[in-house]
Structure 1
Amino acid sequence: MYQVVIVEDDPMVAMLNRRYTEKDPRFQVCRECPDGRAALEYLRSHPADLVILDMYMPQMDGLDVLRQLRAAGVSTDVIMITAASDTATVEAAMRLGVVDYLVKPFEYDRFCQALDAFDRRRQAIRAQSVNQQQLDELLHRGPAAAAPAEEKPEDKPLPKGLQPKTLEAICACLQANPQGLTCEQLAMKTGFSAVTARHYVHYLVECGRADSRVDYSTGGRPSVIYTLHG
Structure 2
Amino acid sequence: MIRLVIAEDHQIVREGLRMFLETQPDMQVVAEAANGREALEAVRQHRPDVLLLDLIMPEVDGLAVLRQVTQEVPETRVLVLTSASDDRMVLPVVRAGAAGYVLKTISAAELAEAVRKVVQGEPVLHPDITRMLMREVRRGPGAVAGEAFTQRELEVLSLLAHHLTNKEIAAEMGISETTVKTHVRNILHKLRVSTRAEAARYAREQGLG
| TM-score normalised by structure 1 residue count | 0.50
Deviation of the 1:79 alpha carbon: 0.8
Aligned-partner Cα distance in 2 for 1:109–1:46: 25
Q: What are structure 2's unaligned runs of at least 5 residues?
A: 126-209
> 2:29 maps to which residue?
29
SS in 2 for 1:85: coil
8 Å Cα contact 1:44-1:74 kept in structure 2: no
Deviation of the 1:37 alpha carbon: 0.4
Q: What are structure 1's unaligned runs of at least 5 residues?
A: 122-137, 142-230
Aligned-partner Cα distance in 2 for 1:69–1:15: 23
Residue identity (%): 34
Deviation of the 1:38 alpha carbon: 1.1
Question: Structure 1 residues 18 and 40, CA, compared in 2 at 3 Å: closer, same or farther?
Answer: same
User: In the TM superposition, what whole-angstrom CA distance separates every residue of 1:190-225 from its partner, at most 9, and x where no partner exists?
Assistant: xxxxxxxxxxxxxxxxxxxxxxxxxxxxxxxxxxxx
Instruction: Output aligned runs, 1:132-171, within 5 Å.
Output: 138=122
> 2:18 maps to which residue?
18
Q: How large is the RMSD of aligned CA atoms in angstroms?
A: 2.1
1:104 aligns with 2:79: no
Normalized per residue, the structure richer in helix is 2
Aligned-partner Cα distance in 2 for 1:91–1:119: 21
8 Å Cα contact 2:79-2:98 kept in structure 1: yes
Deviation of the 1:101 alpha carbon: 1.2
Q: Which amino acid aligns with 2:54?
A: D
User: In the TM superposition, what whole-angstrom CA distance separates every residue of 1:108-136 from its partner, at most 9, and x where no partner exists?
Assistant: 23212202313433xxxxxxxxxxxxxxx
The alignment of Structure 1 onto Structure 2 pairs a total of residues equal to 125
User: In the TM superposition, what whole-angstrom CA distance separates every residue of 1:13-53 from its partner, at most 9, and x where no partner exists?
Assistant: 00111122122111100001111101112222332111000
Question: Structure 1 residues 72 and 16, CA, compared in 2 at 3 Å: closer, same or farther?
Answer: same
8 Å Cα contact 1:51-1:79 kept in structure 2: yes
Aligned-partner Cα distance in 1 for 2:25–2:40: 26
Deviation of the 1:106 alpha carbon: 2.3
Instruction: Output aligned runs, 1:1-230, within 5 Å.
Output: 1-121=1-121, 138=122
Q: Which amino acid aligns with 1:11?
A: Q
Q: Which amino acid aligns with 2:11?
A: P
Q: More deviation in 25-34 or 94-103?
A: 94-103
8 Å Cα contact 1:7-1:51 kept in structure 2: yes
Deviation of the 1:2 alpha carbon: 1.4
Aligned-partner Cα distance in 2 for 1:140–1:104: 14
SS in 2 for 1:29: strand
Normalized per residue, the structure richer in strand is 1
Q: Which amino acid aligns with 1:98?
A: A
8 Å Cα contact 2:81-2:102 kept in structure 1: yes
User: In the TM superposition, what whole-angstrom CA distance separates every residue of 1:125-150 from its partner, at most 9, and x where no partner exists?
Assistant: xxxxxxxxxxxxx4689xxxxxxxxx
8 Å Cα contact 2:21-2:29 kept in structure 1: yes
Q: Which amino acid aligns with 1:113?
A: E
